[in-house]
Amino acid sequence: MRQFPNARLRRTRQHDWIRRLVRENQPSVNDLIWTMVITDSHELQTPVPSLPNVSRLNIDALIEHAKEAADLGIPAIALFPHIDPKLKDPTAKESLNVDGLVPRAVAAIKAEVPNLGVIVDVALDPYTDHGHDGLMQGEIIENDSTLEVLAETASILAKAGADIVAPSDMMDGRIGAVRKALNSSGISNVPIMSYAAKYASGFYGPYRNAIGTNAALKGDKRTYQMDPLNRDEALHEVALDITEGADMVMVKPGLPYLDIIRDIKNEFSMPTFAFQVSGEYAMIKAAGANGWIDEHKVMMETLGSFKRAGCDGVLTYFARDIAKSLHKGS
Ligand code: PBG
């Protein structure tokens, strides 16, 4: 007599309705943070060649995109500035300009689309002529003098109306420095989303092109961003950031680091986010355009993977496409 299995996992996979019934994760529009590149330009939009369907937006175009985000039910957007090369210098002084691009952009969105969350990246690389996230002393990226600039930048952006500040520089002690500056400016209610485990990754290539730092960058970022081969160290980074006053933590890049996301979620039970970075987006776009993968299917699968790994939300250039797709129910 043939032995049949009693346990058959295929029983709950037979129909759409039962697959829906046993589904463990439900990605939704509430999981999305739409990443946008902004610039000062007369042109409304300047396409970024390395990021198909992503443009540098001027403030007018940004407002239109912010309205679209709100209409789609996307909770928040994250802003990344492309700064005029003429304004870059070794001290990142443009990052302290209260009338600079990002403070103006934040104020404009808050005036026009007040219920949309606005997250600002806090780092010096868009503003330094050497493309590093910190001030340089010879060949060294100086930690503690950088903290002072970051803290002041964060206060300026919070005062301009930013809802969340997100330090992405990976200097030691930056969360504490930013938290202290916010407290002493009387804005202790602004959450900090720390780029807690940010790796020295090859996946940022298209972004550096988008914000115009790739040509400028001298050397690499391995003395401050994490070694992609390390796992325990990510937990150490997150622990410090939480102690220093972070409210939400992020892992970056996203898909190659799902193990780190799961570790962090298990260990800290904090609001945990992933950044599906430019290189991840560009790979999916390129393979999709060549007909090698089904772009839509893979895009949705990646969001599901982030949820499965333990993410509360994802920063992604796909946010608009995903939101539209979720609304259509596909
Ligand atoms: C730098 C910063 C980077 C990104 C966001 N903020 C790149 C870097 O560290 O060089 C990458 C975003 C992306 O690749 O989409 N502060």
* pLDDT over threshold 80, residue 27: yes
Q: What residue ranges do the domains of the chain occupy?
A: 26-328
Alpha helix stretches (DSSP H) within the chain:
16-22, 59-72, 101-112, 143-159, 174-184, 205-211, 232-244, 258-268, 278-289, 295-309, 319-328
- pLDDT average, residue stretch 106-128: 98
SS3 167: strand
Q: Is 285 annotated as catalytic?
A: no
Whole-structure pTM value: 0.97
Q: Is the CB of 132 under 6 A from ligand 1?
A: no
Q: Is the CB of 125 under 6 A from ligand 1?
A: yes
pLDDT in tens, 85-96: 999 999 999 999
Instruction: Establish whether 237 is an annotated binding residue.
Output: yes
Q: What is the mean pLDDT of the chain?
A: 97
Residues 6+ apart with CB under 8 A from 48: 37, 54, 55, 56, 206, 209, 210
Pick the CATH number of 26-328 from 3.20.20.70, 3.40.50.880, 3.40.1710.10, 3.30.1490.100: 3.20.20.70
| pLDDT band at residue 172 under the 50/70/90 scheme | very high
> What is the length of the chain?
330
Q: Is the CB of 257 under 6 A from ligand 1?
A: no
Give the end-to-end CA distance of the chain in Å, rounded to a whole number: 45
Q: Is the CB of 124 under 6 A from ligand 1?
A: no
Q: What per-residue confidence (pLDDT) applies to 180?
A: 98
- Calculate how far, in angstroms, residue 1's C-alpha sits from the geometric centre of ligand 1: 62
* pLDDT over threshold 80, residue 219: yes
ipTM above 0.90, yes or no: yes
Q: Among 204, 220, 250, 257, say which to mutate for ligand 1: greatest number of ligand atoms within 8 Å of CB.
A: 204
| Residue nearest atom 7 in ligand 1 by C-alpha distance | 204
